[in-house]
A = this chain, B = another copy of it.
């Protein structure tokens, strides 16, 4: 299936609403800081998912716009704080907010976006119980994202991270927000209990697959398409699922482990050292393992779509998974 054009149409509608929601406040610098990432683009995957799901279960896509925008705003808030925490200088090809302005402004702009996200959410046109459920779901989700971010920070100082811990971190940092979008979309669309639960699970599985597919791209991706140099994840010392798997399977003090550690997080590693490290990752089966895992999550996600009647939206939700897991950039 080709990349569905409807996704682009929905994303454009989201853009318009989003910019209106963010054009608030008296403080010019703060407003600029708040809009800096959302204006730089982004695929709007979370709002698109909320709207598609609401449409798939009840033909009520437009009613999910406030939820979708709220989650996109919250997503951007977490990116700002993430970048402060990781001291990243660049995001979406632009200087990060703490670089363009300063750390205090970045912290405050994140907090302000979080607040706006909840304000936008309060516009959701549903009954009392559903509104309460959606609020609880979104706030619990942000709490889980915070836990995932804290795990990620702690991993920096952990010698051996377990695969299960890594998956838990990825689930919390990435998958729960997709799950929240799909669950909320299903509630707003008036889905059945089973549809609400299955759509949430669909998005959770897709979110994990999406994130660990990134780890595969970071090692095996076509540098012309990803825009990242070969093995950049290795030189940066990024703790990916591939590395976690390899570290778990390489014997302490073995020659292969030494080869991997010589390149890992070594910005001055030669191309030969990086190639050797990749050969080790192939030998341990770590790349293959993560590749297979990503496809498994994708397949399980698609199965959850069985709860939906046949529709164009159902097909797009399936294509969404192929886009998330299997993309080349």
Contacts and interface: CB of A to CB of B under 8 A. Distances in A.
Interface of A: 24-27, 29-30, 78, 81, 84-85, 103-105, 107-112, 114-119, 121-122, 127-128, 131-132, 135-136, 138-140, 142-143, 145-147, 149-151, 153-154
A232 B107 CA distance: 28
Given A127-B128, A135-B118, A136-B119, A143 B25 contact: yes
A115 B142 contact: yes
A173 B116 CA distance: 17
A150 B115 contact: no
Per CB-CB distance, the 5 closest pairs between chain A and chain B, nearest first, are: A115-B142, A112-B146, A119-B139, A118-B139, A115-B143
Given A104-B153, A119-B135, 16 more contacts: A27-B151, A30-B146, A85-B104, A85-B108, A105-B153, A107-B107, A108-B146, A109-B146, A111-B114, A111-B145, A111-B146, A112-B143, A116-B139, A118-B139, A127-B128, A135-B135
A135 B107 contact: no
Contacts of A114: 111, 114, 142
Given A135-B121, A139-B115, A147 B105 contact: no
Nearest to A26: B147
